[in-house]
Amino acid sequence: MTHVPVVDVLQGRFAVGETVTVKGWVRTRRDSKAGLSFIAVHDGSCFDPVQVIALNSLENYADIQRLTAGCSVSVTATVKASEGKGQALELDAERVEIVGWVENPDTYPMAAKRHSIEYLREHAHLRPRTNVIGAVTRIRNCLSQAIHRFFHENGYVWISTPIMTASDTEGAGEMFRVSTLDMLNLPMTDKGEVDYSQDFFGKETYLTVSGQLNVETYCAAMSKVYTFGPTFRAENSNTSRHLAEFWMIEPEVAFASLDDVAGLAEDMLKYVCKAVLEERADDMAFFAQRIDKDAINRLEKLVSSDFVHMDYTDAIDILKASGKSFEFPVEWGVDLSSEHERYLAEEHVGGPIVMKNYPKDIKAFYMRINDDEKTVAAMDILAPGIGEIIGGSQREERLDVFDRRLEEMGLSQEDYSWYRDLRRYGTVPHSGFGLGFERLVAYVTGMQNVRDVIPFPRTPGNAQY
């Protein structure tokens, strides 16, 4: 390809006087009485479009004057120092080729005006053409790249855990069934149940809710591993924090304690936020200006301050002593609700908190029992503005304690036989956590709803495109 990205022009990779070709879409066109037009051309490579100056001496100037938002163009032009304010460089067009018109500019769904975020959601296939979703997309990419880079630089191995699974796992949430059975002609057993032995996998099969148990098997061989893939919850929640399909990052570390992975989580969050500040200053300036004025400040603060560690038991005392009247009363043993988490992170600490050692009865069966026999080595990271962003734990590596816990929970050893094998053969202490990727993107950008930080959100009633 012989054209260059807009970002290379704006960042001065070409000298004034050089000829370049850029290709992209018109954001705006403005005609001057002096016999020339200013065309803002964007191509997604950075936040700003490049300003193209087209003189009326161009042979297709009549066509150029019909350009509207969304038209695609190929512009060959000379780089020049800008006389206006804003950008340092702009383009003097030698040739403006119109590649694709907009069918009917008056009804073009992404016409150049402000659209509500809900309207954009209903046009998910066109919304990346807007400033806001374009910026979200670049930040999302920046975060994803930084996450892979962080783990790779630190010796972690990416593991793809299965998406479809027949494994019986404890209910981290409602699950989607996957099947190829003919729904109008279901095979049945003598007992009047659906005969899943005739299904594709010969068993009832679901979409995964977490890769953790699977990735532990690779942790018990490769030591430092992580997943980065989609996970699923068939919960009928219509909130700004829930999706039926979302991406999760789950590192798992052999010979690591709870504090080790709390440190890992802190290092990772700082690394990826730093990457965004350094690499996407243009998009962050937009979020700070238009979405959340605290957006940049919040990231800078996260990068430069140490996370406060707090025991669940101490947090309960703090909440009780706060004098606040909460909707849900606080008592040792209850799960913290959003109002409690936000009070602690936003008012009491004013920054991210690593909350540790929760009562065992409100946590999962695989978490390691502490010596007090009442709490488990679990941690959540609570961030101002969004609440829980990371949840992790040390895993129970002692076979006898694990088996006792299975029994308490009414779970069968047989269903967990392969998971138990990791405790039978060279067991090691190990810990890990899960980070919901969309919550991270929402936290970083200040976007209020996770549906706006994933290209095609899946929620109850919505699986279009």
**Which residues ranging from 236 to 275 are in contact with a second copy (CB under 8 A)?**
236, 244-245, 247, 253-256, 260
The amino acid occupying position 40 is A
Closest CB 204 distance from a second copy, rounded Å: 9
Closest CB 37 distance from a second copy, rounded Å: 17
What is the rounded CA–CA span in Å between residue 258 and residue 405? 19
Q: Which of 159, 272, 319, 367 binds a second copy (CB under 8 A)?
A: 159
| Coil, strand or helix at 376 | strand
Q: Which of residues 401-430 bind a second copy (CB under 8 A)?
A: 418-419, 421-422, 424-429
Of 304, 309, 396, which is closest to residue 344 (Cα–Cα)? Answer: 309
Q: Which of 18, 193, 267, 317 binds a second copy (CB under 8 A)?
A: 193
Segment (H or E) for 276: helix 258-279
Q: Which of 58, 117, 186, 308 binds a second copy (CB under 8 A)?
A: 186
- Residue closer to a second copy (CB basis): 64 or 316: 64
The number of residues that bind a second copy (CB under 8 A) is: 110
- DSSP strand pairing (245-254 vs 224-232): antiparallel
Tokens 């370049």 locate to 20
- Residue closer to a second copy (CB basis): 159 or 288: 159
Closest CB 151 distance from a second copy, rounded Å: 9
Closest CB 410 distance from a second copy, rounded Å: 22
What is the rounded CA–CA span in Å between residue 306 and residue 283? 26
What is the rounded CA–CA span in Å between residue 31 and residue 349? 53
Q: Are 19 and 77 in contact (CB under 8 A)?
A: yes
Tell me the per-residue interface mask from 25 to 54 with a second copy, x by CB under 8 A, - otherwise.
Answer: xx----------------xxx---------
Longest dimension (CA), the chain: 86
Q: Which of 12, 66, 200, 332 binds a second copy (CB under 8 A)?
A: 200
Q: Which of 14, 61, 101, 365 binds a second copy (CB under 8 A)?
A: 101
Of 399, 386, 464, which is closest to residue 427 (Cα–Cα)? Answer: 399
Q: Which of 12, 17, 162, 333 binds a second copy (CB under 8 A)?
A: 162
Tell me the per-residue interface mask from 352 to 371 with a second copy, x by CB under 8 A, - otherwise.
Answer: --------------------
Distance of CA 395 to the CA centre of its chain: 25
The amino acid occupying position 1 is M
Closest CB 261 distance from a second copy, rounded Å: 10
Stretch that binds a second copy, among 172-180, 296-304, 373-381, 404-412 (CB under 8 A): 172-180
What is the rounded CA–CA span in Å between residue 462 and residue 232? 14
The verdict on 173 binding a second copy (CB under 8 A) reads: no
Any idea what DSSP says for residue 462? B
Q: Which of residues 379-398 bind a second copy (CB under 8 A)?
A: 397
Stretch that binds a second copy, among 9-17, 126-134, 294-302, 382-390 (CB under 8 A): 126-134
For the chain, how many residues are written? 465
What is the rounded CA–CA span in Å between residue 152 and residue 149? 5
The verdict on 134 binding a second copy (CB under 8 A) reads: yes
Q: What are the φ/ψ torsions at residue 85 (nearest 5 degrees)?
A: -90, 170
Q: Which of 28, 76, 82, 179 binds a second copy (CB under 8 A)?
A: 179
| Coil, strand or helix at 51 | strand
Tell me the per-residue interface mask from 52 to 81 with a second copy, x by CB under 8 A, - otherwise.
Answer: ------------------xxx-x-------
Q: What are the φ/ψ torsions at residue 250 (nearest 5 degrees)?
A: -135, 95
What is the rounded CA–CA span in Å between residue 379 and residue 227? 19
Stretch that binds a second copy, among 213-221, 293-301, 343-351, 353-361 (CB under 8 A): 213-221
